[in-house]
Amino acid sequence: MAKPTPSQTVGPFFARELLWKDGGTVLFAGRGERITLTGCVFDGVGAPIFDALFETWQADPAGTFPSGDDGARPYGYGRVSTDRDGRYAIETMMPGPFKGPGGETYAPQISVSIFARGLLKALRTRVFLAPLDAIKDDPLARAIGDTTRLRTLIAARDPRDPKIYRWDVRLRGAGEAVFIEL
Amino acid sequence: MAETPVADIHPPYLYPDYNSTRLRAPSQPLVRVAPSPLETAGPAFPKQFVKDSEADLTTWGRSAPLGEKMVLVGRVLDEGGRPVRRSLVEVWQANASGKYPHPVDDHDAPLDPNFLGKGQLLTDDEGRYRLVTVKPGAYPWQNHAFGWRPAHIHFSLFGNAYAQRLITQMFFPGDPLLAIDPIFQSVPEAGRSLLIAVLDLEHGIEGVALGYRWDMVLRGPRATPMGV
Ligand SMILES: [Fe+3]
C-alpha cells in the first residue's frame, strides 16, 4: 500500500484561485424543490470565520447521485467561501433519502467539507435537512447517539421562509459540530 | 482490509505552533463512519471545464513571468497504486517574489503582471499530470517572529470520489525553511518526505526549465475498496 499524501491547510490565499462562478448555485439535471442552505461558521471563541472554503456534495431530489454536468460544471457540487460575517449560502435542491449497501436508509442530507487557514485537514461532516425524529435511523445519527451532539448537524427550517434551512457551524468549543472521519 | 495508520501520516487538527489551529481545531474526537454511497461517488468534471492551456501558468500574460521556469510532472494514484484517472487537480502559488495577487496579501513584494499563479488540469488515463510554472518565492507570515513560509505550490485534488478530496502543498528539496515551518512540521515525520518534490532534470526543458517530479496518493475510504 502506498502511503497517502499528507493534508495541508488551504489558507489563507485561496479565494481568488479556487472559487467558481456561481459556485453557490448547485446544478442538477432534473427538477425539484429549490432550497437554500445558509448559516455562519464560527471559531472556538465564537468569532466568524471569514476565510473558509465551504463545499457541498449531495444526492438529487430522487436520492440519485449526480454523475453528469451541464458542460460547464458538475452536477450536485457546491463551492463558496464564507464572507466577512462567516456566512455561506448554497442554493440547491432538497436531496432525497438514499440506501446504503446494507439496506440502511440515509436521511436527506448534504455532505460538507470545510477548508480554512488553521485547518491542517478538511473538516468533514453531513448536515441533515430533516427534523430529529426523521433521522434516527440514519447511520451517522446512530453512530453519534447523543441527541445534543446530533442536533449540531440538523439544519433548522426557517419558520418565515420554508425554502431556507439554517445551519451554523461551530468548529470548536460550546456547541461544537460533530465532524466525521470517513 | 488492513488499515493504513493515517494518524502517522496526516497532521493533527491542533498543532499549537501553527497559531490559527488553536481556535479552529475541533476539541472532540471525530466520529468514524463508513463513507456513504454518496461519498464513494463524486462529482464529474466535464472535459470542457479545463482548458489545456491552464496547465501552463507561464503563458497567461503578454510575456514570460519573472523567475525560475520549471516543469512539474507526476502521477495521482490511490493507495493500491492504481491511477486516479481524469481527475481534477487545481494549483495555486505565489509568484517568484513570494507575492499572491490577493487583496489580503500585504507582503511588500512586487506583483508580476505576467503571472496569475493559478492553474488546473485533469489527470490522464494513467493518472499523470504535467504542469509548467515558475518556482514560487518564499514569503514572510505573521505566525511567529521571523516566520517565512518555504516555497510551496498549493494543490487541490478531487480524486474519483468525494471521500478522496484532498488539499495539500508541495515543497522543494533542500529548502532550509522547511525546518522552521510549522505547517510543514505539523506533518508527522513519516509523512514529510511525501510532500517534497524531487529534482528530475529530464522532465525539464533543455536550456529553459528545470524539471521536478511529485506523485500524490489519495486514500480510499477505510474498509471500502474503491474500485475506481
Ligand atoms: Fe501559500
Q: Share the mean pLDDT of chain A.
A: 96
* CB neighbour list of residue A125: distance below 8 Å, 6 or more residues apart: A111, A112, A153, A177, A178, A179, A180
pLDDT band at A15 (very low <50, low <70, confident <90, very high): confident
What's the complex ipTM?
0.97
Provide the residue count of chain B.
228
- Kindly list the residues from chain A whose CB atom is less than 8 angstroms away from the CB atom of residue B226: none
Name the grid cell of B182.
Answer: 510549522
Which candidate, B26, B23, B2, places its Cα nearest to that of B12? B26
Tell whether the model's pLDDT for residue B225 goes beyond 90.
no
Tell whether the model's pLDDT for residue B221 goes beyond 70.
no
Distances (CA, A) of B76 to A1, A2, A17, A86, B129: 14, 11, 21, 33, 8
> Could you count the other beta carbons within 10 Å of the beta carbon of residue A51?
23
- Kindly list the residues from chain B whose CB atom is less than 8 angstroms away from the CB atom of residue A71: 46, 48
Q: A14 C-alpha vs ligand 1 centroid, how far in Å?
A: 8
Distance CA B112, CA A114 (A): 31
pLDDT band at B219 (very low <50, low <70, confident <90, very high): confident
Predicted structure pTM score: 0.96
Note whether residue B143 is domain-resident.
Answer: yes
* CB neighbour list of residue B221: distance below 8 Å, 6 or more residues apart: A182, B34, B35, B39, B40, B161, B163, B164
Tell whether the model's pLDDT for residue A141 goes beyond 90.
yes
Q: pLDDT per residue over B26-84, tens digit each?
A: 999 999 999 999 999 999 998 899 999 999 999 999 999 999 999 999 999 999 999 99
Q: pLDDT per residue over B96-143, tens digit each?
A: 999 999 888 999 999 999 999 999 999 999 999 999 999 999 999 999
CATH number of the CATH domain containing B158:
2.60.130.10
Q: Are B96 and B66 in contact (CB under 8 A)?
A: yes
> Could you count the other beta carbons within 10 Å of the beta carbon of residue B26?
20
> What's the pLDDT at B123?
97
Tell me: domain A14-64+73-170, CATH 2.60.130.10, correct?
yes
Tell whether the model's pLDDT for residue B4 goes beyond 90.
no
Tell whether the model's pLDDT for residue B3 goes beyond 50.
no
* CB neighbour list of residue B36: distance below 8 Å, 6 or more residues apart: A98, A100, A106, A111, A126, A139
Tally of structural domains, chain B: 1
Q: Which residues of B are catalytic?
A: 100, 139, 149, 152, 154
> What's the pLDDT at B160?
94
Choice among A115-124, A161-170, B38-47 with the minimum mean pLDDT: B38-47
pLDDT band at A72 (very low <50, low <70, confident <90, very high): confident
Q: Are B162 and A57 in contact (CB under 8 A)?
A: yes
Q: Are B171 and B198 in contact (CB under 8 A)?
A: no
- Kindly list the residues from chain B whose CB atom is less than 8 angstroms away from the CB atom of residue A57: 38-39, 42-43, 162
Distance CA B45, CA B162 (A): 12
* SS3 of residue A149 by DSSP: helix
Q: Which of residues 59-88 of B touch A (CB under 8 A)?
A: 77-81
Q: pLDDT per residue over B163-187, tens digit each?
A: 999 999 999 999 999 999 999 999 9
- Look up the domain containing B119 and give its range: 68-218
> What's the pLDDT at A134?
97
Note whether residue B207 is domain-resident.
Answer: yes
pLDDT band at B227 (very low <50, low <70, confident <90, very high): very low
**Measured between CB atoms, which of A5, A17, A113 is closest to B118?**
A17
Choice among A6-20, A103-117, B48-62, B214-228 with the minimum mean pLDDT: B214-228
pLDDT band at A43 (very low <50, low <70, confident <90, very high): very high
Task: Give the nearest chain A residue to B169 (CA atoms).
Answer: A8
Note whether residue B29 is domain-resident.
Answer: no
Q: A53 C-alpha vs ligand 1 centroid, how far in Å?
A: 15
Distance CA A55, CA B157 (A): 13
Q: pLDDT per residue over A57-71, tens digit each?
A: 999 999 999 998 888
> What's the pLDDT at B1?
39
Name the grid cell of B156.
Answer: 487541490
| 8 Å CB contact of B166 and A106 | no
> What's the pLDDT at B144?
95
**Measured between CB atoms, which of B25, B33, B43 is closest to A57?**
B43
> What's the pLDDT at B8?
79
Burial pattern A11-27, b for ≥16 Cβ within 10 A else e, equals bbbbbebbeeeebbbbb
Percent of chain B whose pLDDT exceeds 90: 89
Name the grid cell of A128.
Answer: 441533515
Q: Share the mean pLDDT of chain B.
A: 93
Which candidate, A136, A18, A77, A1, places its Cα nearest to that of B155? A18
Residue extents of the structural domains in chain A: 14-64+73-170
